Amino acid sequence: MADMTREDLGDGAWLELAERWLDPADASTLMVRMVATLPLRTELVTVFGRQRPQPRLTAWHADPQCVYRYSGLELKPSPWAPELASMRDRLTNELGVPFNSVLVNLYRDGADSMGWHADDERAFGESPTIASVSLGAPRRFVLRHRETRKTREFSLGGGSLLVMGGTIQTGWQHAVPKTTRTVGSRLNLTWRWFR
Ligand SMILES: O=C(O)CCC(=O)C(=O)O
Ligand SMILES: [Mn+2]
């Protein structure tokens, strides 16, 4: 298994980062293949009663019973593509978590983003372990403590694996902010166990 750096954020929240979980060349090949083959699309979400497109493309792949509902959206699972199934099996093996779903996000450029949130839906359980694999160009990933407002940030580059665990989804939120800098596209895969 790749080198992992573990960081304790206090109150039972922790992170693990492997910057080179995938070889950079393999990460680029995988990105090209996934962008070409996965059913990535713009979803419409309802925020304060109004429908608007999410500023990124997404695909939801999971076991058939995993229907993901949030912000008025209902994502029915797409079947496992072979490269997703093998990433899932490697992660399950290395982390000992039976991942059965992945949300794939494509940030085409700096205008695509993800706002402040936590992966705290009930379907993910009490203290979920979430594995986030990044492919393509690096983007800023920021964590913010809900009460102290303390922040912690990473540049998540192609081939990296960030694991979030313990109470991190209760105590902290995270985001991928927009940027006016010229950045290449980035594909992120967040793996979860969905009950
Ligand atoms: O793109 C990222 O690094 C974060 C994605 C994320 O937070 C999510 O899918 O819930
Ligand atoms: Mn998230």
pLDDT at 72: 82
Distance from C-alpha of 26 to C-alpha of 65, rounded to nearest angstrom? 31
The CA 139 to ligand 2 mean position distance, Å, reads 14
Contact 29, 188 (CB under 8 A): no
Contacts of 145 by beta carbon, 8 Å cutoff, 6+ apart:
9, 151, 171, 172
Distance from C-alpha of 21 to C-alpha of 19, rounded to nearest angstrom? 6
Mean pLDDT of 65-83: 92
pTM value surpassing 0.85: yes
The CA 32 to ligand 2 mean position distance, Å, reads 23
Q: Whose CA is nearest to atom 9 of ligand 1?
A: 190
Regarding the beta carbon of 114 and ligand 1, being less than 6 Å apart is answered yes
CATH of the domain at 20: 2.60.120.590
What's the number of domains the chain is made of?
Answer: 1
Burial code (b: 16+ CB inside 10 Å, e: under 16) for 136-167 equals: bbebbbebbbeeeeeeeebebbbbbbbbbbbe
Regarding the beta carbon of 192 and ligand 1, being less than 6 Å apart is answered no
3-state DSSP assignment of residue 66: coil
Q: In which domain, by residue range, is 139 found?
A: 5-192
pLDDT at 3: 83
Q: Whose CA is nearest to atom 10 of ligand 1?
A: 119
Confidence of residue 1 (pLDDT cuts 50, 70, 90): low
Residue 83 CB-density burial (10 A; 0-12 exposed, 13-18 middle, 19+ buried): middle
What does the mean pLDDT of the chain come to?
96
